[in-house]
Structure 1
Amino acid sequence: MPPSEETLTRLHADYAVSAYRFAWSVTKDELLAQEVVQELFLKLARDAAVVAQAESERAVIFTLTRNLALDALRRRSSRQEAMERFAEELPGWFVPSADAEAEETRAQITAALAALPEEQRSVIHLHVWEELGFREIGELLGLPTQTVASRYRYGLEKLRAQKHTLV
């Protein structure tokens, strides 16, 4: 059963930006992330029960977003092509700065995040930008809390190691 226009409007207002950022962190491609969010809301427009029956609508939104993003990546002809494009584009969540040193730092952070495996990058994104706890991330991704914590720790270790090589 399709949701009411009011429900769909609320879901879009509450989750579209976060879903886009998360899809972008998985796909590393602005246009593909936009397509994932479009597909997400088309899916929600067709069947609101998927969210209405959920214990946590936020968890459902991020689970659907992740699954749609991974499906989109599988459909792409080459994962390497996506990585090369990511290296050339600035991420949408960093605000451009007039300070050249700040821009360089942001570019280094972006490159460091891009170098992480998808599992670690997703966990870091959900924890840092979406402010989800490890237990909540585990439920969202279908992983034990310890695995989520380990992926977060390993990702941070890799980022720290890259920071030392950049300084």
Structure 2
Amino acid sequence: MPPDEATLTRLHADHAVSVYRFAWSVTKDESLAQEVVQELFLKLARDAAVITTAQSERAVIFTLTRNLALDALRRRSTREDAMQRFADELPAWFLPCADVENEETRMQITAALTALPEEQRTVIHLHVWEDLSFREIGGLLDLPTQTVASRYRYGLEKLRAQKHTLV
């Protein structure tokens, strides 16, 4: 059960600044620390039992903050590793369209993606540009993780085959 507005306001007033400082000390990243603070207060807004059943409100808040910060660091590391793998795995012409300065190349990429079946295009978009894992995409699309991975692989194979006609 969510807490009442007064409780949430009090929690934020009492803890937001110190939680941010703590999150920053763990992540060493301002924007990541801000995300952690936001995620913490969203978590508290959804479930008051986390705080109301605790002996020490402050201890619970800092435990949650630490866990959320470590999770954020792991996600960032995973995302960076995935981007490096993408850079190694994907053909050079397959770049996010926003990063492509050459209008002709951007149009070729858009055409290549448009030629893919919708389910493959969706998975590639969510994985490459939205940084979602196959598991997250499976949850979003209500598909098994293996199906998502297969659609991604098949889509990449079709894009690689199209590369020869584009370049």
Q: Which has the larger radius of gyration?
A: 2
Larger RCO, structures 1/2 (Cα 8 Å, 6+ apart)? 1
Q: TM-score, normalised by structure 1?
A: 0.46
Q: TM-score, normalised by structure 2?
A: 0.46
